[in-house]
Structures are given as C-alpha cells and as structure tokens.
Amino acid sequence: MTFNDIFKSSFLENVTSISMVDMLIALILAFVVGLFIFLIYKKTYQGVMYSSSFGVTLVALTMITTLVILAVTSNVVLSLGMVGALSIVRFRTAIKEPLDIAFLFWAIAAGIVLAAGFIPLAVFGSVIIGLILLVFANKKSHLLPYIIVLSCTGHDAELRALDMIKGNVNRMVIKSKSATKGSLELNLEVRLKEDNTDFVNALADLSGVNSAVLVSYNGEYMG
C-alpha cells in the first residue's frame, strides 16, 4: 500500500459524483415547486387555525427529499444505509386536518420525482394537482353544513322556529334535542340555500325563542 492509497477513498471520489449544476437546478426547482405547494395549501386551508410553520415545512420537505434522493441515486451503498437510517425516524406531530396528509405526500413525491430527473412530470403533475385542489377545496360556503343551536321556551315556539328554518334552508336534520322545564334546546344541521344568513336574526326575534346561534361545521369541529 502506497502513501496515495491511504488517502484514496470513496468519500473523495463521491465529491464529484454529482455536478454542481445538477445540484443547483434540482434544489432551485424543488424550492419553486415547494413554494407552489405552500401557496396552494394557504389558499385551500379550511381548518380552525392556519399554521404558517406547516406551510414552510412543505417547502423544506420538498427540498430535503430532493437532496436525499440525489445522494441515494449517486451511490447504491449509500441508498441501503439511508433506508436503514430513515427506518428509525419517528414523527410525533399529530396531523389535525386529513388534507394535510395529502400535502405532505405531495411535497415528498415532488422531491423524489425532481431528484430522479423527471422535471416535466414534477412540474405539470404539481400544477394539475394544485388546480384540482383549488376546485374541490374552495367550494361555495352555502354548500357546507352548518349547525343551528336553537333555544326556545316551549313546543309552540319550537314549531314556529322549525317552520322558519325549513323555509330558508335546502335541508334540515335535527341532531339533538334537550328539554328542561320551560326550556328546549335543539341542534340542527342545515344546508343553506345561499350565503345570506339574515334569517337567523329573524329567527331570534320570534316569540318564545331565547337565542339562535349559527356555526359552521365540517364533522369534526365547530368554528
């Protein structure tokens, strides 16, 4: 073994295995696609509280995935070690919105495809996915379910209130009803005919109605 053999290693050989141009192009494209995913997420978010850190995570996740896949594709031995290293990673952050999972997979998939060199697939695929999410996520507000919390004094007031509600909504379902002496409380799921909610004001003014509250509802939270 000569002196040169001592300093000759696969690590030094791998320095030039990926050109600087390829790395810059891949990371810049990953940033652009990740930023597009972030903007779509911000535009379509319908949860209780918007988290800007999650949006930034989508951009970072796209770039990090691209970086990892670039390293994996340049070295077969490294790819085996990377699989073992990633297998021990555990994520403890709870995903509150089901749609957030789709954005996470979208960011990861975009990073993988970009690093694999399928740039048109990553770009056009992201554009198509973004357009689909914009169409289906941004539905008109009157198509979404609402909950009316109605408090009234008796059966007659209940009938008058229900008749008024039926005349102003497309669909009404009684979800729960509780009765005490001199008081009734109902929770009703409704589909509005249009965006106008002024009928709730008239509902609260009915004789025998103590209060009427309208809240949005998606099956998991109210707000």
Q: Read off the tokens for 173.
A: 């379902």
| Average pLDDT for 48-53 | 73
pLDDT given for residue 223 in this prediction: 39
The pLDDT score that the predictor gives to residue 221 is: 43
CA pseudo-torsion sign 174, 178, 183, 185: negative
DSSP count for the chain of H helices, then E strands: 9, 4
Percent of the chain with pLDDT over 90: 17
Q: Distance (Å, rounded) from C-alpha 38 to C-alpha 42?
A: 6
Average pLDDT over the chain, rounded to whole?
79
Q: Which residue has the higher pLDDT, 47 or 196?
A: 196
Tens of pLDDT, residues 167-197: 888 888 888 888 888 888 989 988 888 777 8
Please tell me whether the overall predicted TM-score, pTM, comes out greater than 0.85 for this model: no
Superfamily name and number for 141-216? ACT domain (3.30.70.260)
What pLDDT, on the 0 to 100 scale, is given for residue 31? Answer: 94
Determine the pLDDT at residue 139: 62
Segments making up each domain of the chain, as ranges: 3-137, 141-216
Contacts of 63 (CB under 8 A, 6+ apart): 27, 30, 31, 34, 111
Q: 163 to each of 59, 143, 151, 167, 183, how far by Cα in Å?
A: 51, 21, 15, 6, 18
Query: In which band, very low, low, confident or very high, does the pLDDT at 53 lie, cut at 50, 70 and 90?
Result: confident
In this predicted model, what pLDDT tens digit does every residue of 8-17 receive, in sequence order? Answer: 555 445 555 6
Q: Which of the four pLDDT bands, split at 50, 70 and 90, describes residue 78? A: low
Query: What tens digit of pLDDT does each residue of 14-36 get?
Result: 555 667 888 888 899 999 999 99
Per the CB < 8 A criterion, the answer to whether 192 and 147 are in contact is no
What is the widest separation between alpha-carbon atoms in the chain?
102
Is residue 123 over pLDDT 80? yes
